[in-house]
């Protein structure tokens, strides 16, 4: 019996999921009265167009217990066990539903609450893939990824606060003030939920540079295996700057770029960028 790794679409792994054979369970994105599957039949550009036309954010929904049961059953019936990595239980019902579905498979499906999202969630799935290639079993993978869970840096800087305002995460005054004064808050995961920490001021490039310097100071020791630069369709020049800055500041073996899927994009808006990795 082998082990199949799976994760929610909110892990934003892009092509790396396919390369590693990591299965993806899509969350749903609802535009108006029509529902789409994240990463399957909707793109971030569809989100931008919908919000521009309607001034309304899309709604998102977790897979149902039945969706998870159907997905897991195909893997178990093929003779494999499953280790599934969910978006933080404080951000979605996905973990609760996946856990309920897992109970129907006699211990052959294990579910991990990553307490992260985007490629913070993806980092744990990639770590699990490393372990699988090293010959580790499902129990070892769950134990180690749960140990590493609080060490995952999940943080990002939004360009504008329009989407956060529409989602009720900041006031109109905060949005206008931030946009006029070029204030960019640092949004990061703490104990499984997003909080706004310090604020940067100036152009996005200036703020991203200061953000990366702060990460280096905050995390002098880190897992050098990999880092993700994940963004929501950000300007190419900003992404290139972030890559160069990370390479000059850290010593990661690989710096992987991924574009946030429709669920994450629908909450943060275009040109948001984060540098995510596992600390020690």
Tens digits of residue pLDDT in 185-232: 888 999 898 887 788 999 999 999 999 999 999 999 999 999 999 999
Alpha helices (H) in 192-271, listed in sequence order: 204-218, 236-249, 262-268
Length of the chain: 280
Q: Which of 84-93, 109-118, 155-164 has the lowest mean pLDDT?
A: 155-164
Give the rounded percent of residues in the chain with a pLDDT score beyond 70. 93
Q: Can you say how many angstroms the Cα of residue 41 is from the centroid of all Cα atoms in its chain?
A: 19
Whether the predicted pLDDT of 61 surpasses 70: yes
- Residue from 150, 81, 140 nearest 113 by CA: 150
Phi-psi region of 80 (alpha: psi -120 to 50; beta: other; left: phi over 0): beta
DSSP state of 146: H
Q: What is the pLDDT of residue 150?
A: 97
CB 193 within 8 A of CB 244: no
What is the Cα–Cα distance from 76 to 83, expressed in whole angstroms?
Answer: 11
Overall pTM > 0.85: yes
Coil, helix or strand at residue 83: strand
Coil, helix or strand at residue 12: coil
Give the rounded percent of residues in the chain with a pLDDT score beyond 90. 78
Average pLDDT, the chain: 92
Coil, helix or strand at residue 78: coil
Q: What is the pLDDT of residue 268?
A: 81
Kind plus residue range of the DSSP H or E element containing 124:
helix 118-133
Angle at 272 between CA 189 and CA 211, to 5 degrees: 65
pLDDT digits (tens, 9 = 90+) for 141-189: 999 999 999 999 999 998 876 756 455 555 555 654 556 567 888 889 9
CB 262 within 8 A of CB 42: yes
All domains of the chain in start order, with CATH: 2-149 (3.40.50.10170), 152-278 (3.30.1180.10)
CA-based torsion, 120, 188, 163, 169: positive or negative: positive
């Amino acid at each position: 019996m082998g082990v199949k790794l799976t994760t929610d679409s909110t892990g934003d792994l892009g092509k790396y999921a396919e390369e590693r054979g990591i299965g993806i369970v899509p969350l749903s994105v609802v535009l108006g009265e029509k529902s789409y599957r994240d990463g399957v039949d909707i793109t971030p550009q569809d989100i931008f167009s919908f919000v521009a036309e309607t001034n309304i954010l899309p709604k998102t929904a977790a897979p149902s217990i039945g969706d998870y049961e159907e997905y897991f059953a195909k893997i178990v019936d093929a003779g494999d066990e499953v280790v599934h990595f969910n978006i933080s239980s404080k951000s979605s019902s996905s973990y609760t539903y996946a856990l309920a579905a897992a109970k129907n498979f006699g211990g052959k499906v294990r579910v991990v609450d990553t307490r992260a999202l985007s490629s913070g969630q993806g980092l744990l799935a990639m770590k699990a893939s490393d372990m699988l290639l090293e010959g580790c079993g499902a129990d070892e993978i769950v134990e180690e990824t749960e140990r590493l869970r609080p060490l995952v840096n999940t943080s990002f800087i939004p360009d504008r606060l329009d989407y956060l305002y529409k989602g009720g995460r900041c006031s109109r005054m905060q949005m206008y003030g931030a946009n006029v004064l070029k204030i960019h808050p640092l949004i990061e995961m703490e104990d499984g939920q997003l909080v706004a920490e310090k604020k940067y001021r100036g152009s996005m490039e200036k703020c991203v540079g200061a953000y990366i310097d702060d990460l280096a100071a905050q995390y002098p020791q880190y897992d050098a295996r990999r880092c993700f630069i994940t963004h929501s369709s950000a300007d190419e020049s900003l992404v290139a700057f972030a890559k160069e800055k990370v390479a000059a500041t850290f010593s990661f073996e690989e710096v992987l770029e991924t574009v946030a899927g429709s669920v994450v994009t629908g909450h943060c808006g275009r040109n948001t960028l984060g540098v995510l990795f596992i600390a020690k």
